[in-house]
A and B are shown apart, each in its own frame.
Chain A
Amino acid sequence: MNETPQKTTHFGYKTVAENDKASMVADVFHSVAAKYDVMNDLMSFGVHRLWKRQTIASSGVRKGHHVLDLAGGTGDLTAKFSQLVGETGQVVLGDINSSMLKVGREKLHNLGLVGNIDYVQMNAEMLPFPDNSFDVITIAFGLRNVTDKDKALRSMYRILKPGGRLLVLEFSKPEHEVLSKAYDFYSFNLLPTMGKLVANDSESYKYLAESIRMHPDQDTLKAMMDDAGFEQTTYQNLTGGIVALHRGFKY
């Protein structure tokens, strides 16, 4: 009897069944959700706040806009978007992981941000919204965890309004060899140790380092966005290419 070969994908450096990746990623984020913000500040020395500021600056978001903050996690971008779109706008904080959504919702409620934010647990590959629904979609440090990135990008394209834009903030490939080596040493030696000490979880942070290396580089991701239908696609390297901000429009 012939068995259909099982489709595989990568989970960090491991090769796993495609169907298993989502649950494995979910386990990682269930594990780190409570300490996510502290670890972000520690790991990036606070620079993640500046990367996110740049994302908001590039979003062109304004009063009345409808914004989807995909893989929004603990809601850093949602908090700012909620203030900028005002009462007439709407922000959807979407994440596949219930633990992250819970932490995000609690944090935003404590900040007094209620009224124009919806929280939706969703899979980026099958976004549960009608066509042409959003003015801006952002996905910050989330795309590399998605199993089928092309499908996710097509799904985002579908729900963007004509004239709308997608912003992908994600770890990428450092531009210079020296920086790349220093970054590798930091990621594979110091990061898991910090994870162990602060979040009592070195494996999740080992996965983080590995998943970053497996993520498409700047030009590949740009090509993927072009293939999904986005136009005027550009990217901006931040902190020497450790992070890249891709931007594409739907017309």
Chain B
Amino acid sequence: MALEQVTEKNNDRSTTSTFFMLPNFVLSLIEHVLNQALKLDPKLSKKLNEVKELRLVVEVRDWQQTIQLVFADKKLHLYTAQSSDNADCMISADIDTLIALKNPAMLTQLIRQDKLDLQGDLNIAQTYSNAFSSLDIDWPEQLSKHIGDGPAQQLYLHLTSLKQQNSKVKKQLATTLTSLCQDELAITIHPLELEQFKQQNRVIKSQVAAIEQRINALLNIVTR
């Protein structure tokens, strides 16, 4: 952490100076957002009740941060963690791997691929993964509490169509950019050309291997 200075004064005493308390600040914001999500999707609380008061410790390797997560008193509590002591379940992985856990089916696959270390009760990690992957907030319903049913539905439909248009434009832009790079500017090649190039490479490679074998055989005859 750039904002944290860690000073070891001697073997039995460690002094950590945390000036801006940044990890705590960020975690308090995340905690607030998650607790808002809990309010907006009542099913989430029910799912997390299975792991009530159990401690999940998550080590984010590339951020060098360890976070503890507890669902207690119908709220999520997030704190920094010094170690995995007292954890009911501990996960250690890079942030990309943790994001991949949005799909609960990936959990065991990621463990097998050695991308994720898990100690303790697997069920706790699975429950959290399942709960957040199935997060379903009824936005029109939530909006209607503030602006009324009609406008909420209109706004929701408008935003949905905006989202669809946005993804359509993004897709179109990507296609245009690809064709510009391949056909107009000729700075990249077409995937088929790449495949053809690979095939040619493989043929040359096998021919080189055959020549190498023949040279070795001839060398053996000469040196005898």
Contacts and interface: CB of A to CB of B under 8 A. Distances in A.
Q: How large is the interface on A (under 10, 10 to 19, 20 to 34, 35 or more residues)?
A: 20 to 34
Contacts of A58: 82
A45 to B, nearest CB: 11
A58 B79 CA distance: 9
A80 interface: yes
B72 A240 contact: no
Interface in A208-249: 218, 222, 232-241
Nearest to B18: A238
A50 B81 CA distance: 14
Nearest to B83: A60
Given A53-B24, A57-B24, A239-B19, A63 B53 contact: yes
Contacts of A49: 28
A10 interface: no
B72 A236 contact: no
Nearest to A88: B53
B17 A53 contact: no
B15 A62 contact: no
Interface residues of B, number: 30
A218 B72 contact: no
Interface string B40-59: 00000000000011110000
A192 B72 CA distance: 39
A51 B21 contact: yes
A218 B15 contact: yes
Contacts of B20: 239
B75 interface: yes
Given A57-B68, A60-B86, A240-B17, 13 more contacts: A50-B21, A50-B28, A53-B21, A53-B27, A53-B28, A53-B79, A54-B18, A57-B24, A86-B72, A86-B73, A232-B12, A234-B14, A237-B18
Interface of B: 12-21, 24-25, 27-28, 52-55, 68, 70, 72-73, 75, 77, 79-82, 85-86
